[in-house]
Structure 1
Amino acid sequence: MELTRRDALAALAAAGATIGGGVLAGRMEPPRADSEGPASNGSDPSTEPSLSTDLLDLLDALAGVLYPDGVDGRREFVETYVLGRIGDRPDYRAGLQEAAAQLDAVARDWEDAPYADLDADARDRLLRNLGVAAADPDPEGPISDRIRFFLVDDLLFAFYSSPAGGRLVGIENPIGHPGGIESYQRGTMPDAAGGQNGGESDG
């Protein structure tokens, strides 16, 4: 099943956010140093916000762990949703950038590679070792809580509250009720004893 821009807009509606007509793919610095200039944060009314290529790579790679196999159109879906979420929320944008930068820094430290360059198993393992599965989503908390709040839960909300995403995993939750932490723990990050992680295949 394919996730479309329309699915992303439906998820944005569930989150109470909107996005302009243009979706720009910026080519700025890696997520740990993402630009805060007018063209990237939407403070200039003549421009749309954009994401750095490396930040979008990280978010797409994270979605590859969180979303089930066989999802087409994931990158555009993630980009559209995230742009809608950060468009008029500079504080939220800064929090998302910081959480992404910290996740990427841990990957570089522990795995000697950017998070987006790791295979699916390594990405999933890194999240587990950080304690993200059991973390409380808190924008002011420790790193695992902030990654959970700004990255994991928001991407899961986008997926589960989109029409295609809800059908793909066999749930038809009302708008604004994406399934919560129980769906996340059950469907995407099971215990270490084994089972599907819901992510993409290696490679």
Structure 2
Amino acid sequence: MEVTRRDALAALATLGVGSAVAGEVREPDGDLQDVIPTVAAVASVVYPSAVDVTDEYVRNYVAGRTQLQDNYERRVVDLCSVLDANARDRYGSAFRSLPIRRRETVLRRMGVGRAKSAPDGTFEQQFRYYVVNDLLYALYATPVGGRLLGVENPPGHPGGTEAYQRGAER
């Protein structure tokens, strides 16, 4: 199941990015544009295998997310550069260029999976907060992610008249 630009906009709308509803998220530029494939590569590791991650989805979500938090862009760029440096040291290639198993290994060895999420903590804690948890929120705050969990209309997503008329599936 592919996540699309529309899913990114739905997740942003639940965060309160009003322009996302109108589809007016600005394109990322400079350094942020350069790390979009790295963030997409992280998503391909942390998302369930049933989800096909596209750069367009990640680009729209990350670009919209920068509208909510002033330091978000700089943090994501800095964290992804450390991740890439670690991948290059271990495997001689950028994180995004590695096969998925090696990406998993890089994240695991860096302790990202065990780290407690904290915006001002260690690298691992910040990576968990700004990249991993944000990507997971972006997925599960949308109808596509909700369906994976068995929740067709996640909180913040209206779902339309068809959803409430049908009732709960048992």
TM range (shorter): 0.7 to 0.9
* Alpha-carbon distance between aligned partners in 1 of 2:68 and 2:139, rounded to the nearest angstrom: 21
Structure 2 residue 106 is the aligned partner of structure 1 residue 103:
no
What's 1:74 paired with? Answer: 54
What is the identity, as a one-letter code, of the residue corresponding to 1:24?
E
- Measured at CA, do residues 23 and 71 of structure 1 come closer, stay the same or move farther in structure 2, by a change above 3 Å? farther
| Deviation readout 1:19-51 (Å, 9 max, x if unpaired) | 45255364x4xxxxx2xxxxxxxxxxxxxxxx4
* Alpha-carbon distance between aligned partners in 1 of 2:151 and 2:102, rounded to the nearest angstrom: 28
Unpaired segments ≥5 residues, structure 2: 157-170
Deviation at 1:174, TM superposition (A): 3.3
TM-score (norm 2): 0.79
* Alpha-carbon distance between aligned partners in 2 of 1:17 and 1:133, rounded to the nearest angstrom: 28
- Measured at CA, do residues 87 and 116 of structure 1 come closer, stay the same or move farther in structure 2, by a change above 3 Å? same
* Alpha-carbon distance between aligned partners in 2 of 1:25 and 1:93, rounded to the nearest angstrom: 9
* Alpha-carbon distance between aligned partners in 2 of 1:165 and 1:145, rounded to the nearest angstrom: 24
What's 1:11 paired with? Answer: 11
- Measured at CA, do residues 14 and 25 of structure 1 come closer, stay the same or move farther in structure 2, by a change above 3 Å? closer
What's 1:182 paired with? Answer: none
What's 2:126 paired with? Answer: 146
What's 1:45 paired with? Answer: none
- Measured at CA, do residues 156 and 108 of structure 1 come closer, stay the same or move farther in structure 2, by a change above 3 Å? same
Structure 2 residue corresponding to 1:92, chosen from 69, 72, 77: 72
Structure 2 residue corresponding to 1:161, chosen from 130, 136, 141: 141
What's 1:24 paired with? Answer: 27
State the Cα RMSD in Å. 2.1
Percent sequence identity over aligned pairs: 41
- Measured at CA, do residues 22 and 140 of structure 1 come closer, stay the same or move farther in structure 2, by a change above 3 Å? closer
- Measured at CA, do residues 67 and 97 of structure 1 come closer, stay the same or move farther in structure 2, by a change above 3 Å? same
User: Is the helix fraction higher in 1 or 2?
Assistant: 2
What is the identity, as a one-letter code, of the residue corresponding to 1:83?
A
> Aligned pair count?
153
* Alpha-carbon distance between aligned partners in 1 of 2:58 and 2:137, rounded to the nearest angstrom: 11
- Measured at CA, do residues 140 and 173 of structure 1 come closer, stay the same or move farther in structure 2, by a change above 3 Å? farther
What is the identity, as a one-letter code, of the residue corresponding to 2:9?
L
* Alpha-carbon distance between aligned partners in 2 of 1:25 and 1:150, rounded to the nearest angstrom: 16
